[in-house]
Structure 1
Amino acid sequence: MIIDPLNEYLDLWEADKADRLIQNTNRLVGAFRSLQLPVIWVRQEFRSDLSDAFLEMRDKRIAVTIQGTRGAQLHAGLDWQPSDATIIKKRYSAFFKTGLDELLAELGIGELVLCGVNTHACIRMAAVDAYQRDFRVVLAEECVGSYDAEHARVSLDYMNGKIVRIATVSKIVETLSVTT
């Protein structure tokens, strides 16, 4: 599950950091596809009037990832394909009022590998919500990132070994190859 690698966010990153995240994510996506495992993309987007945005956005008139804008689209360098499942979310968690629970049940998923941004917010919330639903959760180390390094570090420290297992892309690919 790849969460919010959107233009709005990645455009603000140093180019080499964004490129590394994209390349590593594509490597993992390619491994999943080669083993015929599902790839799920999650995108945040809001109406231009922010009527569906969360409180801070409405209160402070923060207009990001607006529906129909380039900012709300997945970065063009990502290996998204029309056959991939895509979930649109309105809050930090990919589970909040989306069809994700139903999709995962339909696919018979018991373990999730998470990638994307931002580690301290959307990744953390999705990981916690997945864990609360009894999914085993793996964070792909080179495929998560944040604009807030300190909060990302604290979040990773908090989750690792409790809510998630952090693993390198190489280790995840190796494990997938053995178990499928």
Structure 2
Amino acid sequence: MRSIYLVMDMQNDLVHPEGASGKTPLQDQIQSRDVINRTAKAIETARSKGIPVAYVRVAFSDDHREANTSSQVFGPIAKNGILKMNAWGGQVHDALAPKEDEWDIVKPRVSPFYATQLEVLLKKEGVERIYCSGVSTQAVVQAAVRDGHDRDFDVVLLEDCCACPSAQEHENSVGSIGRFCTVANSESAFE
């Protein structure tokens, strides 16, 4: 079965200690769950097994023209000037850096499928299985799992490479999407 690993929203403003979310409960969870190191190992494993790795980023033009300023999620992003597409905060964390030929899917909303080329590229490449992980579990991860499922992909969630602002929220999120995917550990998922 042709597969791909989607690494989602692992951007400096969201996951780096010096990023916009660096002093929030989300950063505490990223640290305590060792999400950066686990994701780096998962990327390395996928590549070693010939599974392509693709990156999904939530990012905006410098003026945030794509952001819905009345949204509870995107309004503060625009107001605070974070997640700019070409700025450090909008880039993937250095420890997880994409290779030159790996996809960089930029999305203006929560779902990696909304207003992006992701589905077209996946279908063109004959992908049937999506491995995915990212921050945060209650947002991009839930959206990817549900939308991937509804587009007839076999979805595998690397649960230990995800985080939310609280352990309880992460657990609830994984519980609510478990029927739409296979929940796996990154150390054994690619076997």
| Pair in the same fold by TM > 0.5 | yes
- Give the TM-score normalised by structure 1: 0.87
- Give the TM-score normalised by structure 2: 0.82
Residues in 2 aligned to 1:120 and 1:48: alpha-carbon distance in whole angstroms: 26
Amino acid at match of 2:143: M
Contact 2:112-2:140 within 8 A present in 1 as well: yes
Aligned residues: 173
Identity of aligned residues (%): 26
Residue 115 (structure 1) aligned to one of 133, 140, 150:
133
Structure with higher RCO (Cα < 8 A, 6+ apart): 2
1:5 matches 2:4? no
What SS class does the counterpart of residue 105 from structure 2 fall into?
strand
For 2:3, the equivalent position in structure 1 comes to none
For 1:163, the equivalent position in structure 2 comes to 180
Displaced runs of 4 or more, over 6 A: none
Amino acid at match of 1:135: F
The CA deviation string for residues 48-105 of structure 1, in whole angstroms up to 9 with x for no partner, is 3221013413487353201222110101111421111110111000000100011101
For 1:89, the equivalent position in structure 2 comes to 107
Judge which range, 60-69 or 70-79, deviates more.
60-69
RMSD: 2.1
Contact 2:12-2:90 within 8 A present in 1 as well: yes
Q: Which runs of 5+ in 2 are unaligned?
A: 1-5
Judge which range, 61-70 or 94-103, deviates more.
61-70
Q: Quote the offset at 1:25 in angstroms.
A: 1.2
The CA deviation string for residues 126-176 of structure 1, in whole angstroms up to 9 with x for no partner, is 11100110111111021111224333222111111x1111111122132xx
